A and B are shown apart, each in its own frame.
Chain A
Amino acid sequence: MASRTIKSLLVLCLSLFTMAFSGHVFANEKTVQTEQSNPAAAHEPVAHEAEAFNVTETILDHIKDDHSWHLWGHTSLPLPVILYTPKGFEFFSSAKFMNEHHEQIMYKGNYDYKIIEGKIKIVDAKEAVDVEASKALWDFSITKNVASLFVSVFILLTVLLTAAAAYKKTGITSAPKGVQSFMEPIVLFVRDEVAIPNIGKKKFAKYMPFLLTIFFLVLVNNFLGLVPFFPGGANVSGNIAFTMTLAVCVFVVVNLSANKNYWEHIFWMPGMHWSMKLFLAPIELIGVFTKPISLMIRLFANITAGHILVLSLICLIFIFKTVYASAIAVPFAVFIGMIELLVAFLQAYIFTMLSAMYIGMATEEHHHEALDHDGHKNVAHH
């Protein structure tokens, strides 16, 4: 009971604190908006209306990738831009896209570049997008998501190599300690709950490094995405490019490890009438691709949805234009945040488990029962 009271008190304090703080931020935002709109359209009320708070834009802005990493206020960490055009590679800082008034400007490199809606485009002299030229532009920049991904890689390498080193130091006879004791249950969880039940005791060992790497990469990026300030703040696992890459990796591993039995079940389903076999083949073939695509969309949609939900709740304060909206918005955002913590783990688990299941399906051995059945059917046909 006592802990409950303390908890609710803490939540109340947090709400009050954020209320006070958000009021301050809101005031700042207002002045900034008026400041920004002043030089451009101070005496045009219509333009001023357009500068009003746009929820969709704000939320998308937070979810989308960016060429700089926002730290606080108007301070952002500029990130390196790497571009490949028919004229070759170019490297420069993303700070070149901003002037001293924090306004988007054009950068003159091999072409004229400008950030339009978060993406670098080639523009002509009038700063309009040159669609044809932009198609030949390959953007390999270290964006916010890439930088965040590198942070997660750094974290994973540090933590897991430390944990692995502990086995060398303390040997296998002693009980796990420190980081090792924190990592070992997760590794065992992936092995005993994900790999062995889906792939089987005989073949799982070969796929363990792949499954563990996917699980930890997704997990760390899910958690980092929930951290609202600097080392986190990027929406890596809610980005379709990230989930697509992992899904492609799963696709490659599944199809490379697939055995004869798997392909037979796709192209010529055993134990069926030939007309049924013809009917099933295209469906099964589509299934080969929909499996990784479902992986890609599931993770992307779950994480993005969570972020949109939290941001929408926070945006309520700006929509109602009153500090008091935070009394409802902040506790709800905290509640959703808690659920997001669960979802972060759950989605990492589901992604890994389904990958293991697809690998298991691809490497499954021919059942003797099916063989008999199959042989019998074939005889009947001849």
Chain B
Amino acid sequence: MREITFIEAVREAQAEALIADDRVFIMGQEIGSYGGVFRATQDFVRRFGEHRVRDMPIAEQSMLGAGVGAAVMGMRPIVEVMFMDFVACGMDAIVNHAAKMRYMSGDQLRAPMVIRTQGGSGTHHGSQHSQTLESWFLHVPGLAVVVPSVPQDVKGLFKTSVELEHPVLFVEHRALYRTTGTVTDPVAPIPLGQGVVRRRGDDVTVAAVGKSVHQALAAALEMEEEGVSVEVIDLRTLVPMDVELVLESLSHTHRLVVAHEAVERGGWAGELVARVVAEGFDELDAPPLRAGSKATPIPFARELEAAMISDERLIARRIRESLDLAEYSA
């Protein structure tokens, strides 16, 4: 076991993929001699050459589109979209091309590519550099959506993602980049669609991914002082989504809060809640609640951001509401 940072895990995961498979190459802006704006490809040009670590012009459509074209010809591109907000610029390549190639072609073409990106609030980058947009991709059949929360999962999920015969959105929260965690050597591939219980508890289940998992754990600590026992589930991937694990947890907690930094309106929590209500209605003692961000763009000023973003305080509040509602309904 070693302790490494989240960004080191991202770097190791990519390097291991480049070493393991010569079909793998990386495209992105500033990823070459600069080493990536978050250092995700530091030293890669020296190790793997400019041919496989390809600096791109600022042109997301062609970057993602050329990734699709290379993937259908048998390559395994890793495409780094520097900020998640910028996926909007290359959305056509992801939604209309990558996601559909295999299906439309009757399985003659496949687009196995990993689209790596990072997003999230907390660094005061303003409205166009802070969004959490993974929910967009749940709505497009044909894409896997992976949102790791710890270094071990970064490596294990990346290994599976790079080998998957479908395109993958691999979403990182930049606030996690300097967090640390232990990793095994080597890290075994983690199947997509398998969540994990991060903390056992009896009263309320909180389901989350990425940074929100850490916030849910912080909220659980806070609730512990109030005598409330919170179970925290890290879904790890949103497509596929481990609804089974959530239902299993609800069979003893009977209360659910779904936490994400994405805007609550139209966010993926709604999908999970709908599934839980449809498949586990009898287990519920209270209405499932969401802890998402308010429906505004993300503002610059600290005080403004705090007023709209989903965080551990909001998660704790939703946990209390869930308990109150349960009491009320009982």
**Real complex partners, A and B?**
no
Q: List chain B positions with a Cβ less than 8 A from chain A.
A: none
